[in-house]
Amino acid sequence: MQAPVPIAGSGSRPPPSTRPGMSRKARERRNHALLHIGLIIYFTVSLMPFVWTFLTSLKQSRDVAAAPLKIFFQPTLDNYRAVLFNQYSDDSALARVRVDIPGSFMNSLIIAGGATLLAMLLGNIAAFALARYKMPEREVYAFFFLAFRFAPVFVFIIPMFLIYQEIGLYNTHLGMILISQVIAIPLIVWVMRSFYESIPPELFDSAALDGATRMQMLRQIALPLAAPGLAATAVLAFIACWNNFVFPFLLGAKQTQTITLATITFIGYEEVAWGMMTAAAIVTIVPELILAMLVQKHIVRGLTYGAVKE
């Protein structure tokens, strides 16, 4: 029997596998190329703000504001000199009101680092308890932690401002570390809880039979097994605390000014110092970038670890 011959214009086409002129390998190559083009476009668009920020940080004031946009320009490190070493040109108004980026950077390190350490300690204990132990209203407690993330910050920031003023935590590093728990602990509790839930319960049962206490189970079984998750969660918590603007703005002042807050002080009436502001922004993302790169494999593994339960 003769195979039916497609009639031109009838709309019927041969199935893809039988299309003339393109082998399976060629189609795969084409799809691969299209995928790559798509990814290149996606990454170009995603990276554009960072590239733009970096290029602006190398420009002089006049080049930043130039119209049409200057793609080619004489790069300068003056902006980095200013933000890293407090070396401003004498004619700059900023020389009079130096934006202390190095000092603010240290404040950010102390606050974000301290907050992450404290939150990891407290959050992991809570996450382990919520994951492994039956208790009345367990889900209510779990939701309670999440509720901090639902509540708009201005709901509690004004009472906190007054309380901080009253008890002397206002404009202190300790105060900033404590308030940052509002950001870090819910994140740690909810992410780590799923890690602990994915650990086979038999391990804990055996440990219990051997007389291990709950803290020993956490320390000697749960934490080592959840190490990838710990790294991922710690980095995420650190980034969340590092990027926070509202707490240091409203509950801090000059002595606890973080780098996110210091960066905006390049806005002035005489000019907006975009070059210095973007240089400060680049400096701001360096610790996050280094941390993320150091624990990159743990982040990917960590974030997918608890996703599928056996």
Contact residues: another protein, CB under 8 A: 61-62, 65-68, 93-94, 96-97, 158, 161-162, 165, 170, 249-250, 253-254, 264-265, 267-272
- Give the list of residues 6+ apart from residue 207 with CB closer than 8 angstroms, or none: 216, 217, 220, 221
Nearer Cβ to another protein, position 44 or 165? 165
Tell the smallest beta-carbon distance from residue 183 to another protein (Å).
20
Tell the smallest beta-carbon distance from residue 161 to another protein (Å).
6
Q: Where are the alpha helices (DSSP H) in 151-226?
A: 153-167, 173-179, 181-197, 201-209, 214-217, 223-225
Tell the smallest beta-carbon distance from residue 97 to another protein (Å).
5
Tell the smallest beta-carbon distance from residue 61 to another protein (Å).
5
Q: How far apart are CA 241 and CA 117, in angstroms?
A: 11
Tell the smallest beta-carbon distance from residue 254 to another protein (Å).
5
Nearer Cβ to another protein, position 272 or 292? 272
Tokens standing for 212?
A: 């291990």
Nearer Cβ to another protein, position 194 or 243? 243
Contact between 94 and 273 under an 8 Å Cβ cutoff? The reply is yes
To the nearest 10 degrees (0 to 180), the angle between helices 274-294 and 101-132 is 40
Nearer Cβ to another protein, position 78 or 191? 78
Q: What are phi and psi of 11, to 5 degrees?
A: 95, -15
- Give the list of residues 6+ apart from residue 175 with CB closer than 8 angstroms, or none: 164, 169, 251, 252, 256
Nearest to 262 by CA among 279, 286, 238: 279
Nearer Cβ to another protein, position 203 or 267? 267
Q: What are phi and psi of 265, to 5 degrees?
A: -75, 5
Nearer Cβ to another protein, position 27 or 254? 254
Tell the smallest beta-carbon distance from residue 286 to another protein (Å).
24
